[in-house]
Structures are given as C-alpha cells and as structure tokens.
Amino acid sequence: MTAKSIGAWLRKALSIQVLAAFILGLVIGLVVLGWNVWPVKWTDADPSDLRASQQDAYLQLIAESYALTGNADFARERLSALKKPAQTAADLSAMIEASAQTRSQAGKAEDAIRLQRLVTALGLPPAGTVVPPTAQPKPQPTTQPTSGGSKALLRVLGTTFFLILLAGGVMVLFTQLQKREPRRPRPITPAPEPSPDREAEPAVEAVSGVGPSANHFVAEYHSGDDAYDVSFSIELAGEFVGECGIAALTRAIGEPGHFKAFDIWMFDKLATESQTKLLLSEGAANDPVLSVRLPERGEPVQARLDRVLTLESENLRLVATIVDLDYEDSSNMVFSKLVAKLDVFPKAPPA
C-alpha cells in the first residue's frame, strides 16, 4: 500500500477512530480506574453521617465512657456531634432508648442500663417531647467546619460540573468531526478550442470508460508552487472507493518550483492497488541522459496539448486529458503551467 493510499484510508477512517478512542478512554478512565482501581475514599466523616448501625455503636461508646469517667460535659459534646441539624434533644433520647431496648432484648442488660443512665445524667427530654423554640441571640457569623450536608452538596455540585464538562467535550468533538468535510472537486474548466491553423495531435490512448462517469476533477499547476501535490476522493453512490491526483516529481529530475515531470496516479480502495504514469515535459522526454534517471513509476509519456492518458485498476478507469500547458523557456524543459482534466469511470463487472 502506497503513502497516498494510506493517506486516503486515514482521511476516511479518522473520525470513527477518534470517536472510538474517546469512548474507550472514557470507559477506562471513569469506570475502570475511577470506580474500581482508585475509587474515592471518604475519611473524617461526622458521626451524623454514619449509617444506623455505626451510630448505635457510637452511642454505646459514649455511654461506656461516661460510666467510666462521669464527665457529663464531655458526653454531651460527643452526643451533640451525633445530632443532625433538623433533630432535637428529644430525637436523641428516642435514639438512645431504642438502642437500650435493642440491647435489653439481646440480653445485654448492663449496656442498656448505661444508656438509660446517660439520658438521665444529661437531662435529655423524654422521647416524643416537643421542645418549644426559645429566643436566642442572633449568632455572630463564624467559620464552621463543613458539615455532612455541605459535603453532600459539594459532591452533587462536583458531579454536575463533571457531567457538564463531559457533555461539552462531546459536543466539541462532534462539531470538529462535522467540520471535516471531504475534499470537494474543483469545477471543470472547459478545454480551450483548438486553433484552426494547428493540426490536432492524435491521442495516444482512446477513451473507453465503461458505464456512467463517476467523478470529474481538474488539476492545475502554475510555476512557483514548490510542493505541488493535489489529490481527489473518488466516490460512487456516496461511498469512498479510491483516490486520484497529480504530484510534481522532484527526485533526480527536478527541483522545487521548477518541475520537468509529474506523477499521475490512481488508488483503487476495493482492490487495494495503485496505478501511476509519468508525464514528462518535451525537453525531458527527448533527453536520453535524463530518461535513464527516471524512477520506475509506470510508463513515461510526453505531455502534449489534448493528449489523453488512461489508468486502469480492477474496478476503476481514470482518463486524464491535458487541456493546457506551457513552458518557462524555449527549451521546453520546465513546465510553467499544466492543466489536466481527470475523469474517473467505474468499470463494469465481468459477465
């Protein structure tokens, strides 16, 4: 497979590969690494954020600590950390009584007694008591540590921000892919009328395309283009089937901007093959020394006005017609202008 055929394949398949790579990277980064290999681990959670079984164990620890030290203030401070913003002291009493009842039913009478003594020592209201609101002075704004509710809010905001970024990235990706349109063929320039006093030269090859013409292109070179290389996508019924073009030949017989030969080529994607022919200037074609330095790129043909060349592959036929040409000087060695019309025909399948 030649470099031009590889380039044609890349231009056709790049969008699918980019999308596949993006999805694969998202799955590996988010699902595999983010959720399984290196998942987020929460530490230093508040007692109010613990699940019910852990809160019950926390209550028992407070009761045992009070039974050993008798420090009611310390026990009250620890117990207040277990209360959520919407809970009251009566709710804490209900929680402690439920824990004491559970332990009493499980045969752990001493643990139940410690919990009941904790309620009495701290002066908590009985469960179900509605505590009327009391007038309190307006609190001064202070910096409070992040509570469990604030952490949950931050998690929600962070997740939302990530999803917005992800959606934005997907939109940008698809926008860029939609902007990648295939190369549009240039409008066909009508061939100049032959001069009445000039005898038309016979074409070296006959135009024998089979079936309707598939694609029409025009390649136009002017002196000074240091790296002339144009290519066109060949499509049949909206499907990419190959590529063709003309490239200036500089190796051994030319230099940038001053070309003596051009490479006319066609790539057949379905057959994975390329066909080429060398188009030489009049001076290059008649130079015996230069002819031995030509690269092996196909049959060399001298460029003449109205000359027709054909390239055939298994599925395609390219007909190239020289509609205009000129040279830099009277030696007719270096092209100053070359215009070629490229017509590509699908070949009929064998009977």
Do residues 242 and 340 both lie within one domain?
A: yes
Is 317 within the bounds of a domain?
yes
Q: What is the reported pLDDT for 219?
A: 94
Do residues 121 and 220 both lie within one domain?
A: no
Do residues 326 and 237 both lie within one domain?
A: yes
10 Å CB burial of residue 92 (0-12, 13-18, 19+) is: buried
10 Å CB burial of residue 260 (0-12, 13-18, 19+) is: buried
Range of the domain at 58: 47-129
Cβ atoms of residues 4 and 274 within 8 Å: yes
Is 27 within the bounds of a domain?
no
* Domain C-terminal end among 93, 109, 129: 129
Do residues 206 and 125 both lie within one domain?
A: no
Q: What's the DSSP call for residue 47?
A: G
Do residues 256 and 125 both lie within one domain?
A: no
Do residues 106 and 217 both lie within one domain?
A: no
Do residues 219 and 109 both lie within one domain?
A: no
* Rounded (5°) CA angle 322-324-328: 115
Do residues 107 and 229 both lie within one domain?
A: no
CA distance 52 to 94: 13
Is 277 within the bounds of a domain?
yes
Q: What is the reported pLDDT for 326?
A: 93
Do residues 209 and 298 both lie within one domain?
A: yes
Do residues 218 and 122 both lie within one domain?
A: no
Q: What is the reported pLDDT for 209?
A: 42
Cα 225 to its chain centre, rounded Å, is 34
Cβ atoms of residues 118 and 82 within 8 Å: no
What are the two backbone dihedrals, phi and then psi, of residue 220, each rounded to the nearest 5 degrees?
-130, 120
Give every CB contact of residue 288 below 8 A, 6+ residues apart in sequence: none
Nearest to 263 by CA among 344, 271, 274: 274
The first and second tokens of residue 115, run together, are 């919990």
Half-sphere exposure of 99 (CA within 13 A, CB side): 27
CA distance 112 to 79: 17
Is 81 within the bounds of a domain?
yes
pLDDT, averaged in runs of 10, over the chain (351 residues):
55 61 79 73 72 82 84 82 76 82 86 82 69 52 52 73 77 61 44 48 41 78 84 89 87 66 90 87 84 71 92 92 92 91 84 52
Is 89 within the bounds of a domain?
yes
Is 2 within the bounds of a domain?
no
Do residues 227 and 113 both lie within one domain?
A: no
The pTM score is 0.41
In total, how many domains does the chain have?
A: 2
Is 28 within the bounds of a domain?
no
Is 180 within the bounds of a domain?
no
Do residues 209 and 125 both lie within one domain?
A: no
Q: What is the reported pLDDT for 97?
A: 84
**What Cα–Cα distance (Å) separates residue 336 from each residue in 222, 252, 294?**
6, 19, 20
Give the total residue count for the chain. 351
DSSP assignment of 249-285 equals: --TTT-BTTB-SEEEEEEEETTTTEEEEEEEE-HHHH
* Domain C-terminal end among 129, 157, 172: 129
* Domain C-terminal end among 129, 148, 166: 129
CA distance 15 to 177: 6
Q: What is the reported pLDDT for 58?
A: 83
Q: What is the reported pLDDT for 351?
A: 52
Q: What is the reported pLDDT for 74?
A: 82
What are the two backbone dihedrals, phi and then psi, of residue 235, each rounded to the nearest 5 degrees?
-130, 140
The first and second tokens of residue 324, run together, are 């205009």
